[in-house]
Amino acid sequence: MATSKASKVKLDPARIPAHIAIIMDGNGRWAKRRFFPRVAGHKQGMQNVKTITKAASRLGVKVLTLYAFSTENWKRPGSEVNYLMRLPVDFFNDFMPDLIKENVKVEVMGELDDLPPQTRQASEKAMADTANNTGMILNFALNYGGRDELVHAAQKLAKQVQEGELSPDDIDDRHFANELMTGFLGDLADPDLLIRTS
């Protein structure tokens, strides 16, 4: 028999993934199925991010990575891209008090220099405002592309070799991992759970 109230689920704290990554996909399709404009799906997605962030923090997740805007997303219609670039600004403005209260530290990875100034500034401000927080890391991937990340890591290693700081024979997975955008996460860099919404 169904009840009107949700049952509380008991989770084993020892089994909570340390790093959860979410590929945020399907917001436009969600909106289309409901006969809403695509941007309504993105707005709802932002609300869901707030809920997920609080829940993950309270459950003891160490890192929550959100793949929010890929380098491929620039190919979308201009009006949609403009809206998507406004979302981080609104998110950080609206949600910053909660992030501070939850002791969440914000990080943003990707090609930030290519973002519109307002989006880049909001991202940089969020990182600065939460720099001393010691709780969960909320890691946004904005203007992020996996291949771009690999190319940049390879270029950094090549430069170290060229400058005599590193021998090609010494390059191993640890060196490579340190040059990735998630290198700052150390042992938490690799997600334990990857979710792709649809």
pLDDT tens for each residue of 91-147: 999 999 999 999 999 999 999 999 999 999 999 999 999 999 999 999 999 999 999
The pTM of the whole model exceeds 0.85: yes
- Quote the tokens at residue 161: 């070799």
The stretch 78-88 carries a mean pLDDT of: 93
- Using an 8 Å Cβ cutoff, are 41 and 85 in contact? no
pLDDT at 37: 84
As a CATH number, domain 16-145 is 3.40.1180.10
Quote the CA–CA distance of 39 and 81 in Å, as a whole number.
10
The pair of structure tokens assigned to 60 is: 């003891």
Active site residues: 25, 73
The reported pLDDT for the residue numbered 11 is 82
Measuring CA to CA, which residue among 51, 45, 52 is closest to residue 84? 45
Residue 86, token pair as written in the block: 């406004």
